[in-house]
Amino acid sequence: MDLSLEPSHTEEERASFLSECKKQTEKIGWLTDALLKIARLETGLIAVTKISADLVKTVRDAVSSVTAQATAKGLPIIIERLPDTLSFAHDPVWTKEALCNILDNAVKYTKAGSITIALEQGPLYTHVDVADTGIGLAPEEYAKIFARFYRVRGHAAQRVEGTGLGLPIAREIMRQQGGNITVASELGKGSTFSLFLQNC
Ligand SMILES: Nc1ncnc2c1ncn2[C@@H]1O[C@H](COP(=O)(O)OP(=O)(O)OP(=O)(O)O)[C@@H](O)[C@H]1O
Ligand SMILES: [Mg+2]
pLDDT tens-digit map of 146-177: 999 999 987 666 678 899 999 999 999 999 99
Q: Is the pLDDT of residue 55 over 60?
A: yes
Minimum-distance ligand to the CA of 144? 1
Tell me the whole-structure pTM to 2 decimals.
0.90
Q: What is the mean pLDDT of the chain?
A: 92
Domains of the chain, residue spans: 1-46, 50-198
pLDDT for 199: 95
Average pLDDT (8-28) is: 87
45 — pLDDT class (breaks 50, 70, 90)? confident
Average pLDDT over every residue of 33-44: 89
135 CB within 6 A, ligand 1: yes
Asked whether residue 6 carries a pLDDT value surpassing 80, the answer given is no
DSSP, collapsed to helix, strand or coil, labels residue 151 as coil
Which stretch of 11-20, 93-102, 117-126 has the lowest confidence by average pLDDT? 11-20
Q: pLDDT of 58-85, one tens digit each?
A: 999 999 999 999 999 999 999 998 999 9
List the residue whose alpha carbon is closest to atom 9 of ligand 1. 105
Between CA 133 and CA 44 the distance in angstroms is 36
What pLDDT does 157 receive?
62
**Rounded Cα gap, residues 152 and 86, in angstroms:** 36
Mean pLDDT of 113-123: 97
115 Cβ below 6 A of ligand 1: no
Establish whether residue 102 lines the binding site of ligand 1, counting it when its CB lies within 6 angstroms of any ligand atom.
no
- Residue type (1 letter), 144: K
CB 133 within 8 A of CB 190: yes
Degrees, nearest 5: CA angle 23-37-114: 65
- Our answer on whether the CB atom of 109 is closer than 6 Å to any ligand 1 atom is yes
145, 187, 195, best to mutate for ligand 1 pocket (most atoms within 8 Å of CB): 145
3-class secondary-structure state, position 58: helix
Q: What is the pLDDT of residue 2?
A: 63
Q: Is the CB of 113 under 6 A from ligand 1?
A: no
Per-residue pLDDT at 177: 95
How many other C-beta atoms are found inside a 10 Å radius of the C-beta of residue 150? 15
Q: What is the pLDDT of residues 171-191, one digit of tens each?
A: 999 999 999 999 999 999 999
Query: Which pLDDT score is estimated for 154?
Result: 76
pLDDT, residue 4, reads: 59
Helical pair 92-108 and 55-72, crossing angle rounded to 10 deg: 30
Q: What is the mean pLDDT of residues 99-104?
A: 98
* Choice among 1-5, 13-17, 188-192 with the minimum mean pLDDT: 1-5
Residue 178 is predicted with a pLDDT of 95
Whether the CB of 163 sits within 6 Å of ligand 1: yes
Query: What separation in Å is there between the alpha carbon of 178 and the centre of ligand 2?
Result: 22
CATH architecture of the domain covering 50-198? 2-Layer Sandwich (3.30)
CB-based contact 53:92 (threshold 8 Å): yes
